[in-house]
Structure 1
Amino acid sequence: MGYRYINSLATPDSVHKFLELADLAAGSGQDVHNVFELSRKLRAGIQMQLSVQALQQDPASAKMLEEKYVGPPYDIEAMLKMPKGSLGWTYARVMSALGYDPQFYPPAPPSFETDGDYINFRVFKTHDIHHIITGYILDALGELGVISVSVGQFRYPTFLFLDLTALLLSFFTSDKLIEPGMDPRELNQTLGHKFRLISDGIEMGRAAKPLFPIKWEEGLDRPIEQWRQELNIKPVTDGPWSLYADSRLGNALEM
């Protein structure tokens, strides 16, 4: 049986490529290296070119692309000594409480071959900082929200593909409607909740000032609330997808 419209687009090669990328995206929740591999495969395609174009429209982001700033690695011990309520102090308290490795991302190479390679590095290095700034919890309940901020700001292709794949897979696998009082993990499996997280994250990104050109490493001692006000970010402060609802953090956060 033939198809009237899709045959011209869905060539065997494009279908194979899509399924290869979708397989990586489907396993990203179990293995973060899937995300790194997905970003590597998307580093030079048309979607990355569009992302570069979007960044170049902002002078500060264009300068960051040209400079390819790396910054020092995150030093948890040093940040724990920063002023209470600062971005660095908050980041260090959260990462320590969760036992997360701040250097989880692939290290910077001696030089970046393409703008796409640099964008991939910078996005992953600042990913957990974005969690802290936006208030999205550092697990599956908040991931679609925080990655969608970058989608809204400069259509970062890896996160855009993860968003699209999450909706597509939920279309086929979700068998429940959102109901009041639904368990958060069950809620996170519904198509409606994922759509809401993605939409909210994109809107947060569009409302905020550009995050890509910020050298967070040079302003970790500044109050986190000062950062949020300056960047026009209203953090997620309630709901199971909020960092502030994470029982694992105890008193690690300051409001």
Structure 2
Amino acid sequence: MPDPNTLSLPDNASLFTRLRVATQCLQVLQHDPANPTCGQLLNICLDGKVYASLVQQLQRSEEGRRILSERPSLQARDLDLAALERLPEGTLGHGVARYYRDNKISPFDTTLELKNDIDYIGKRYRETHDLLHVLTGYGTDVVGEMELQAYALGNLGIRTAVLILAFGTLGHLKTPQAGVGRSEYLRRLWAAYRRGRASQQFLGFRFENYWETPVATLSERLCASAAQLN
């Protein structure tokens, strides 16, 4: 298995190099699914052009330019989960802190160097994953994780999500999760994809400024409702 500490993607890497590094990352992630370095590097290998497009979109607004300039962070070292959990129940901060505690996981962290705005957007996408579970209401079970990938695909066009959805769907069609039949599974993924497309692009939102805001308020603001999909 490759050593994740030695993996890197050269500047202006060719398609062959990107696929080679992505394959090495997948080998690591098969044994260590939560590896932050390979998780982010995999996204950069497959989604560099997507991130470049997202950077261009952010540069068109004042808030987007501020985010790219100041590079706010939701990494473990930047979050005081104890303080967030003391916020009133129902707020974003309280919900995020409880999410980590209840699922017995830690916030995203990485040691990858941020050489440019594209690298930052790759990092930002990864570190907003758990927060999106709180805002969208998608669960952390297999089906909920696939729903969130479908949401991210619809919202941002993330190619890594296509790969994850393909493997996840093949697995589910072969061995359906308890209580979720094949047709319901596909219906839920399609609904999540459409919801993502209809929702505000979340990478242009500075969540760090809204810890004391109710989750319900932010969800209504950022995430399309079922009524909006009809």
Same fold (TM over 0.5): yes
Instruction: Give CA-to-partner distance per residue, 1:134-171, whole Å, 9 cap, x none.
Output: 0011232310111222211221232232123333x34x
Instruction: Give CA-to-partner distance per residue, 1:84-103, whole Å, 9 cap, x none.
Output: 211111222232222221x2
Q: Which residue of structure 2 aligns with residue 92 of structure 1?
A: 97
Within-5 A mapping of 1:168-179 = 169-170=170-171, 174-175=173-174
State the shift of 1:54 in Å.
4.3
Q: Which runs of 5+ in 2 are unaligned?
A: 1-15
Cα–Cα, structure 1 residues 164 and 174, in superposed 2: closer, same or farther, change >3 Å? closer
- Equivalenced residues, count: 205
**Percent of pairs identical after alignment?**
18
- Secondary structure of the corresponding residue to residue 198 of structure 1: helix
Is 1:27 matched up with 2:30? Answer: yes
Measure, in 1, the Cα distance between the counterparts of 2:197 and 2:66: 20
8 A Cα contact 2:51 2:122, kept in partner: no
Pick the structure with more helix per residue.
2
8 A Cα contact 2:92 2:211, kept in partner: yes
State the shift of 1:217 in Å.
1.6
Q: Which residue of structure 1 aligns with residue 216 of structure 2?
A: 225
Q: Which residue of structure 2 aligns with residue 127 of structure 1?
A: 129
Within-5 A mapping of 1:148-187 = 148-167=150-169, 169-170=170-171, 174-175=173-174, 183-184=178-179, 187=180
State the shift of 1:175 in Å.
4.0
Q: Which residue of structure 2 aligns with residue 211 of structure 1?
A: 202
- Secondary structure of the corresponding residue to residue 93 of structure 2: helix
Cα–Cα, structure 1 residues 39 and 81, in superposed 2: closer, same or farther, change >3 Å? closer
8 A Cα contact 2:84 2:93, kept in partner: yes
Measure, in 2, the Cα distance between the counterparts of 1:18 and 1:201: 30
8 A Cα contact 1:24 1:37, kept in partner: no
Cα–Cα, structure 1 residues 218 and 229, in superposed 2: closer, same or farther, change >3 Å? same
State the shift of 1:56 in Å.
2.5
8 A Cα contact 2:199 2:224, kept in partner: yes
Measure, in 1, the Cα distance between the counterparts of 2:43 and 2:178: 35
State the shift of 1:22 in Å.
9.9
Within-5 A mapping of 1:63-142 = 64-70=67-73, 73-101=78-106, 103=107, 105-107=108-110, 112-142=114-144
Tell me the amino acid that sits aligned with residue 159 of structure 1: A
Cα–Cα, structure 1 residues 93 and 78, in superposed 2: closer, same or farther, change >3 Å? same
State the shift of 1:194 in Å.
4.6
Instruction: Give CA-to-partner distance per residue, 1:75-130, whole Å, 9 cap, x none.
Output: 221112112211111222232222221x2x23365x51133321221112111110
8 A Cα contact 1:204 1:233, kept in partner: yes
8 A Cα contact 1:24 1:38, kept in partner: no
Q: Which runs of 5+ in 1 are unaligned?
A: 1-12, 236-255
Cα–Cα, structure 1 residues 174 and 21, in superposed 2: closer, same or farther, change >3 Å? farther
8 A Cα contact 2:71 2:120, kept in partner: yes
- Secondary structure of the corresponding residue to residue 106 of structure 1: coil
8 A Cα contact 1:166 1:194, kept in partner: no
Cα–Cα, structure 1 residues 61 and 206, in superposed 2: closer, same or farther, change >3 Å? farther
State the shift of 1:55 in Å.
5.0
Most deviating of 217-226 and 157-166: 157-166
Give the aligned CA root-mean-square deviation in angstroms.
3.5
State the shift of 1:23 in Å.
5.2
Question: Higher RCO, 1 or 2 (CA under 8 Å, sep at least 6)?
Answer: 1
State the shift of 1:44 in Å.
4.8
- Secondary structure of the corresponding residue to residue 32 of structure 1: coil
